[in-house]
Each structure stands twice: as structure tokens, then as C-alpha cells.
Structure 1
Amino acid sequence: MVIHMDNHQSSLDAAFHALADPTRRAVVSRLVRGPAAVTELASPFSMALPSFMKHLRVLEKDGLIRSEKIGRIRTCRINAERLAAAESWLVEQHEIWRSRADRLADFVETQMPEEP
């Protein structure tokens, strides 16, 4: 059980590390719509292709994307399972904080004197 939690935490750490950069977030946003060639993914960014490839390597190493090369074209696609794990964690955190905020609001309302 502890090993599973450590593995889960490590995969979340890797996913959020990869998503910490705006270029990588933009790539993930694009790939959610479907697979794309590296040249298509790189075109909106004003950086050299080798620099852009570093971003793709981070995303691939951290498991958010997969790529394959057919001939001269490298195509990337999203790894939906890894992205879903990060989303699941965020939803869980949102629910925890929403519940806390609701309890705080209830407490504040019970502490306020009634208006005449």
C-alpha cells in the first residue's frame, strides 16, 4: 500500500512538473484535441526546434505524451491515463476545499447575531 502511494505521488509530481511550464501546458492543450506532428506543435512558438524538443522530452519522460516516428515525421499524442490521474487529484483537492469553505460559511452564519 505504501509503495503504491509513493508511486502515485511520484507520478503526480512528474505530471505537475511537466505542466509547470506554459509551453508544455500549451502542447498538452493542443494534444487533447488529437495527435499532431512535432512541426505542427512547434509552429506557434518562437523558439528553435531543438529547444522545443526539450519540452517534448520532458512531457514524454513524465508520461503525459507519447510519440512515434514514422518515416521522417514524429507524431505526438496525449497519454490520457496520466492526465486523468492529475485531474483526479485536482478534483479531489477542489472537493476538500469546497467542503471546508462550506463548513466555514455555516460556522460564520451561526456566529452572526440575527438582525432585528
Structure 2
Amino acid sequence: MADDEKFDAVVVGAGPAGTAAAITMAKAGLQVALLERGAKPGSKNVMGGILYNHYLEEIVGDTWKEAPLERPIIEERRWIMTAEATIGIDYKNLRNREHPHSYSVLRAKFDAWFAEQAE
């Protein structure tokens, strides 16, 4: 980055949220700088989780189909908790193997790919 460069927004952190914000602002016509403290996006990841197709598609269009996705999520669990009790709900849908709606990812691979979409 040159000293005289000007940006409308600076996003600190090239994880999924920061990269999504940078892509969204760039699509809106803003000049955006995306900064990452790690050697490359994904090298310092601190999250594991599920990525949903429809949200990725909103951000990067059909390009999401090229993302380094690991496996479809076929089972989810939810808990409602208090200090004294827990109620759990399990959901499993084997059809999600053929028509997945969400995936697990390895962040070191996904974050690097996602940050490339922001360039």
C-alpha cells in the first residue's frame, strides 16, 4: 500500500466476516483495504463452523461452487440452556448429501480462497 492511497473503508481481519464485509462494500463501489495480521488469510483462524450456500451465493454469486468445501452437513444439534437445565434438539437429513445446503470447511484453505474473491 502506498502512502498516498485513499480508501473509503479499511477492514481489519481477513476471516469470513471481514472478507464478506470487504466484498460487499467493494460491490457497492467503495474502495476497500482488507488487512490481515497473519502471513495469509486463514493462518490464524479461531473459528470452526458451518457455511451456508445461500449466504456465500449472496456475497460471491455462483463462484461459491468453486470454494474449497470439505463435506456437506447432514446433522445439526441445538441446545437451549439455563444454569440448571438443558434441552437438546437433533436434526439429521441424509438427503443433504446429494443436495447440500451447508458445508464444513478447513479455514486455512477457505479463508485464502475467500480473500482471493475480494481482490
TM score, norm. by length of structure 2: 0.25
More strand, by proportion: 2
Task: Give TM-score, length-normalised by structure 1.
Answer: 0.25
- Between structures 1 and 2, the one with greater helix share: 1
Larger radius of gyration: 1
